[in-house]
Copies of this chain bind each other. A is one copy, B any other.
């Protein structure tokens, strides 16, 4: 029995509970915004942007305090069915089955898990306040070029980053060593034809304002199919640069300060 007045333990485990105990534990965990794991034999229905049906089988359901839900099968990284954060939950017994519904009113989406048999219920009060750090993202590549413009090319001088233009934002705008305006678009993956077109749109929008000559440089670790042709056709350029090198540049800065761009005159790719 999970007391209403007592503080519940950080970890509650029920093996092979009957439906009544399971219902109580699930309602308790969700209402107290605990993390909930339910393993059991169930079928799953989803109705919303699409609809899906999954017949009976044993799966794991994970419900988080933020109101997200996911149903995992024995394979695949991604859940077979899910509901994003902010979902509402309704649990009830019906003719010997335990029915768990996660729904989002606005989006008109419903996820329904109908348990024939509950193998396990785990209710956890997880404490996790740590920050997640991701390195070598596209953002890091941008930071690295701004910190050390020679990563792009000798003599490049950034003017602004994230400059708004008609269709979006120019990653980096600057001038090359001859003073020519240069639009830089950064990709952390091999650049696709779409990326080239994106860069071109930015330049087009920009040229309207400036109507002077503008260079366009695509920064990426490589080129996907069709990108080379698109670049040539549009008269744009590419600078091969890996996210890893950018991440290294940033981490080295932390140790040696911001002098690198003045000291280092070599190119590393």
Contacts and interface: CB of A to CB of B under 8 A. Distances in A.
B76 A72 contact: no
Interface stretch (A60-68, A92-100, A206-214, A223-231): A60-68
Contacts of A84: 77
Nearest to A108: B189
Given A75-B68, A76-B85, A85-B77, A132 B13 contact: no
Interface string A117-160: 00110101011111111111110100000000000000000000
A90 interface: no
Nearest to A82: B77
Contact of A74 (B39, B66, B140): B66
Contacts of A54: 130-133
A112 to B, nearest CB: 14
Contact of A50 (B10, B65, B126, B136): B136
B58 A128 contact: yes
A182 interface: no
A151 B37 CA distance: 44
Contact of A52 (B80, B83, B133): B133
Given A15-B11, A51-B135, A243-B51, A130 B76 contact: no
A68 B60 contact: no
Contacts of A136: 49-51
Contacts of A16: 11
A235 interface: no
B76 A68 contact: yes
A55 B131 contact: yes
A35 interface: yes
Contacts of A72: 62, 64
B56 A130 contact: yes
Contacts of A101: none
A80 B127 CA distance: 15
A51 B247 contact: yes
23 contacts: A11-B120, A49-B243, A51-B134, A51-B243, A52-B132, A53-B133, A54-B132, A55-B130, A57-B129, A58-B124, A58-B126, A58-B127, A59-B126, A62-B62, A62-B72, A64-B75, A64-B76, A70-B77, A73-B128, A73-B132, A75-B85, A77-B82, A122-B122
Interface of A: 10-11, 13, 15-16, 35, 37, 39, 43, 49-60, 62, 64-66, 68, 70, 72-77, 79-80, 82-85, 119-120, 122, 124, 126-138, 140, 188, 243, 247
